[in-house]
Amino acid sequence: MSGGAFGVPALAALASRRAAWRRRAGIGVLAAVAAFALLGPLWVGVDPARQVLADSLVAPGAAHWLGTDVLGRDVLARLAHAARLSLGLALVAAVTAAVPGVLLGIAASWHGGRLERALVMLADTVLALPGLLLVLLFAALAPGRGEALYVGLALSLWVEYFRVARAASRPVLAGDAVQASRLLGFGPGYVLRRHLLPALAPVLGTLLAFGAAQAVLALAALGFVGVGLPPPTPELGSMMTESLPHYEEAPWLVGAPVALLMMLVLGMMLLAGDGEGA
């Protein structure tokens, strides 16, 4: 019995250390990518759209650390701008989706009745559609416009925030603290700030990281199939597509955007896994 009694706290401590390691690792990876995205263009000092056909498919070296593509453009410069674009658009889309998703989820749980049924039906309808299909629809309506991709990504992500916020806010609203606040005359804004948001914060942090990872992958997938941002905008998916015809003679063209995409998704999923595990 004593071994079992001591075993449970030991397992809990081990899980806590693993969760902390995942969080630190995820923050470290994302911090490295963010630093590269913000400082890389200044450090490289090369226009990512500048073409030097005489330097086509130059191998990595002192002049071009990651080589050049078929048009003689510096791969490192393009990669830094692509990192800034992917990271920024993914974070903005995830945060934008979180605001209506959380507020609608709380409203559905708070009011119930017809409002909740209507919102659940709307969420189920959106959830039945593949998320990438919504983004493709908006990309087709406004080809080559980043705003269309942003709106499509946000609309495809809000449902998860709604479902989680609706489920997680229900026991909080039924708790003694919220009931006492209502009896004392505090309004919805106070209840939201004082009780609901602090209770939802851990799981919402997990969803933000997971949603950002989904947005990064969706943006890369759209660029890969040629319906993302228009050239010559540096973007991870389009960089992969452009490099495929030359992967045998210039493998660095494929390896660089793939490695950066893996780092972005890995860092975000480590953060999401930490929140889930907690």
Domains present along the chain, CATH in parentheses: 2-277 (1.10.3720.10)
Q: pTM of this prediction?
A: 0.83
Q: How far is 268 from 48, CA to CA, in rounded Å? A: 26
pLDDT surpassing 80 at residue 75: yes
pLDDT surpassing 70 at residue 129: yes
Phi, psi of 98 (to 5 degrees): -70, -35
The pLDDT of residue 57 is 87
Taking CA atoms, 54 is separated from 16, 57, 58, 70, 71, in Å, by: 55, 9, 9, 10, 8
The tokens for 152 are 């499509």
Mean pLDDT of 152-167: 90
pLDDT surpassing 70 at residue 2: no
The pLDDT of residue 8 is 65
The pLDDT of residue 7 is 62
Contact in structure between 220 and 236 (CB atoms under 8 Å): yes
pLDDT surpassing 60 at residue 3: no
The pLDDT of residue 107 is 93
pLDDT band at 257 (very low <50, low <70, confident <90, very high): very high
Mean pLDDT of 69-88: 91
The pLDDT of residue 34 is 92
pLDDT surpassing 90 at residue 143: no
Phi, psi of 59 (to 5 degrees): -70, 155
Who contacts 200 (Cβ-Cβ below 8 Å, separation ≥6)? 102, 164, 165, 168, 169, 172
pLDDT tens per residue, range 15-68: 778 878 888 899 999 999 999 999 888 888 788 888 888 888 888 888 888 888
- Nearest CA-CA partner of 120 in 154, 170, 194, 175: 170
Strands (E), the chain: none
- Nearest CA-CA partner of 131 in 201, 187, 198, 211: 211
